Amino acid sequence: MPEGRYLFSVDGGGTKTEYCVYDMDLRKMQSFRFGSTNYKNIGLKEAASRLKNAFYTICDSLNIELQEIQGMVIGVSGCDTESDYAVYQSIVKHMGLDLKKVYICNDSEFVFLSVADKPGICVISGTGSIAVGFDKEGKTYRCGGWGRPLSDLGSGYWIGEQMLKKWIKYCDGQEAYNEIYQTLEEFYHFEKAEELPYYIAAMSQRDITAAAHLVCDGADRGNSLCGQVVAEAAEETADLAVAVYERIHPEKQEKIHVVISGSIFKGDFYRRTFQGIFREKTGHGNIEYIPLNQSPAQAGIRLARDIFHAN
Amino acid sequence: MPEGRYLFSVDGGGTKTEYCVYDMDLRKMQSFRFGSTNYKNIGLKEAASRLKNAFYTICDSLNIELQEIQGMVIGVSGCDTESDYAVYQSIVKHMGLDLKKVYICNDSEFVFLSVADKPGICVISGTGSIAVGFDKEGKTYRCGGWGRPLSDLGSGYWIGEQMLKKWIKYCDGQEAYNEIYQTLEEFYHFEKAEELPYYIAAMSQRDITAAAHLVCDGADRGNSLCGQVVAEAAEETADLAVAVYERIHPEKQEKIHVVISGSIFKGDFYRRTFQGIFREKTGHGNIEYIPLNQSPAQAGIRLARDIFHAN
């Protein structure tokens, strides 16, 4: 068991990176937020330099020496393949940390292990979507989460895409009017009304994803078109969870933890529809849903403690 | 009426550009193919320089002086807005041509006017999809064609995207096996089978579109999964055509020309399904379907003759 006073937890998402530092002597937690460190988005060199600079900035400001760090857990979205792990291991080595002191995993594994016990499932629906199942033997099974536009079904990007497709159809005279189009137009405030479909079609992936929260809010307020899109999204995401449920095959009466995380799950209509479909398709009665109420990086300190500080 | 011996027709597509030159004295047509000249794909400077260089190469090799050109028609995919027209007008001026000798239009208008008479509809389904309606008064109405991933429904990209989504679901254990997945795997020949979903998700837009022809072939051979995707695609494209049909509102007994163009329409199952849905949804009995058997640039010579050489 390595010694040291500090535990680190790092959540590397597609849009932001959060470092969380826990001082075991003072029992005090501090969080630090930075931009994206996903090397698939910003390139390897930039990701490595940002992760490293953020790390040194924190160590300097808190007066932490490398040897005082007992362990660090890093959860990274899009960390999928052997070569992805190798990339992050090499970044960690360049930060000056001993690999024995660092546990690198996919963001969904990170979230599940931080707040729940096996057997169970972690479902994340934010910009992207993924489900990972954990059986009692410690095996993991994943479904989804391979990125836009072919995977990440039912995610924020997916919801935005479906609604913007309908909006273009409305602009082209193919669909009837719905008040969500007015809400979207006010949100994006384009220049010329007559070039609306052109503006919509030229949107970036981030712009497309930004529509999701407006659509989820619409569904929560009872807008039926929003409700239709959000219900389809919830079903797509529930199907990811059902697929991994079938692979961890728990006993029917056994309690399973289902951790739900990501901004889309904050939508009431989405979350309730997801839970209804998951229960119906699995027929499982003993489910404990665990929403992630802290940030993943804050929750990750529990995982760091489990791995690097057993007692 | 400007004088001159030559008519030019240019088809600027998303992946290739074809120049066609007609020598009215010799009644002889020649075609020349170049790469993409779509400024939205390759940038304005590159598009302008390629269009210009191609033009001069042809004039040099055929010994054509600028004043011997009676007229030129240019059909460009993605030429949608006023600012798009302004861009191509400025390119034409830099080629040394008088704007009075040049007619610039969207590729679908180009295709329709080249082979058909008003009233009618032009439907293109290749990499993208669009429908444009032409009423007797000369007004045009468009639907679709705003680009991937939010528009161009039922196109080659769309078909590829739908099938690759199913393939990822199969890899993730969500869908049953179908032989099309084997066909796709042989076509793309990836390195490691265990990283298949990763490879699929990392595909470029061109890679995604490339799957469409395998799916259309599968549908033509009776594969039911391919048939399902292609039938949905045909319905999406037919809906574009129905929307513009409703705006040109022809008399029910009146003959309308429906020009169908683009590589996806070469699929028998797709074309027949499209025609069945269009007839059913419009209830129109007197439809003449005109497949484009020449290349658009070759067909465009008829349009150049209509505009610049009335007799």
By Cβ distance, the residue of B143, B168, B195 closest to A172 is B143
Average pLDDT of the residues in A101-112 = 93
* Closest approach of B26 to chain A, Cα-based (Å): 43
Whole-number percent of chain A with pLDDT over 70:
99
Across the interface, do B174 and A81 touch by the CB < 8 Å criterion? no
Query: What are the DSSP calls for chain B, one per residue?
Result: ----SEEEEEEE-SSEEEEEEEETTTTEEEEEEEE---HHHH-HHHHHHHHHHHHHHHHHHHT--GGGEEEEEEEETT--SHHHHHHHHHHHHHTT--GGGEEEEEHHHHHHHHH--SSEEEEEESSSEEEEEE-TTS-EEEEE-S-TTTS-TTSHHHHHHHHHHHHHHHHTTSS---HHHHHHHHHH--S-GGGHHHHHHT--HHHHHHHHHHHHHHHHTT-HHHHHHHHHHHHHHHHHHHHHHHHH---TTS-EEEEEESGGGGSHHHHHHHHHHHHHHH----EEEEE--S-HHHHHHHHHHHHH---
Q: At CA A105, angle to CA A100 and CA A107, rounded to 5?
A: 145
Q: Which residue of B has its CA nearest to A159?
A: B150
Of the pLDDT bands very low, low, confident and very high (cuts 50, 70, 90), residue B310 is low
Per-residue model confidence (pLDDT) at position A81:
84
The CATH code belonging to domain A6-116+295-308 is 3.30.420.40
Q: Residue A311: which pLDDT band, with cuts at 50, 70 and 90?
A: very low
Asked if the model's pLDDT at residue A182 lies above 60, the reply is: yes
Q: How much is the pLDDT for A83?
A: 86
Asked whether the predicted pLDDT for residue A262 surpasses 50, the reply is yes
Pick from A76-80, A148-152, B236-240: least confident: A76-80
Could you tell me which chain A residue has the CA closest to the CA of B162? A150
Q: Do B172 and A147 touch (CB under 8 A)?
A: no
Nearest CA distance, A229 vs chain B (angstrom)? 15
The percent of residues above 70 in pLDDT, for chain B, comes to 99
Q: Do A174 and B143 touch (CB under 8 A)?
A: yes
Identify the band that residue B221 occupies on the pLDDT scale cut at 50, 70 and 90. very high
Q: Do A147 and B195 touch (CB under 8 A)?
A: no
Contact criterion met (CB < 8 Å) for B149 and A153: no
pLDDT higher than threshold 90 for residue B83: no
CB contacts of A144 in chain B (<8 Å) are 172
Residue type, B90: S
Summarised one tens digit per residue, pLDDT across range A127-176 is: 899 999 999 998 999 999 998 899 999 999 999 999 999 999 999 999 99
Query: How confident is the model at residue B244, as a pLDDT?
Result: 97
A168–B150 C-beta distance less than 8 A: yes
Q: Report domain extents, chain B.
A: 6-116+295-308
Question: Which tokens is A139 given?
Answer: 């095996």
Partners of B160 on chain A (C-beta within 8 Å) are none
Chain B residues lying within 8 Å of A87, measured CB to CB:
none
Using pLDDT thresholds of 50, 70 and 90, give the confidence band for residue B2. Answer: low
Chain B nearest C-alpha distance from A139 (Å): 16
Give contacts of A151 with chain B, Cβ < 8 Å. Answer: 165, 168, 197, 201
Best A121, A150, A190 residue to mutate vs chain B (most B CBs within 10 Å)? A150
Cβ of B243 and A208 within 8 Å?
Answer: no
Nearest residue on chain B to A144, alpha-carbon basis: B172
Residues of A in contact with B168 (CB under 8 A): 146, 150-151
Q: How confident is the model over B84-98, as a mean pLDDT?
A: 91
pLDDT at B16: 86
Count of beta carbons in the 10 Å neighbourhood of residue A134: 25
Query: Which residues in chain A have their CB less than 8 angstroms from residue B80's CB?
Result: 198
The nearest CA of chain B is from the CA of A244 a distance in Å of 8
Q: What average pLDDT does the structure give for chain B? A: 93
- The CA distance from B159 to the nearest CA of chain A, in Å, is 12
ipTM, two decimals = 0.86
Minimum distance, in Å, between the CA of residue A68 and any CA atom of chain B: 38
List the single best residue of A151, A195, A203, A248 to mutate versus B (max B Cβ within 10 A): A151
On the question of pLDDT at A226 being above 70, the answer is yes
- Rounded mean pLDDT of chain A? 93
Closest residue of chain B to A243, computed from CA coordinates:
B174
Q: Which among A174, A203, A282 is the top mutation candidate for probing chain B, defined by the most B β-carbons within 10 Å of its own β-carbon?
A: A174
Query: Both tokens of residue B128?
Result: 């993208």
What local confidence, expressed as pLDDT, does residue B311 receive? 46
Distance from the Cα of B229 to chain A's closest Cα (Å) equals 15
| DSSP H helices in A151-295 | 156-171, 179-188, 196-201, 205-220, 224-248, 268-282
pLDDT at A36: 84
For B198, which of A80, A198, A202 is closest by C-beta distance?
A80
pLDDT digits (tens, 9 = 90+) for B287-308: 999 999 899 999 999 999 999 9
A310 pLDDT band (50/70/90 cuts)? low
Q: How far apart are CA B107 and CA B14, in angstroms?
A: 10
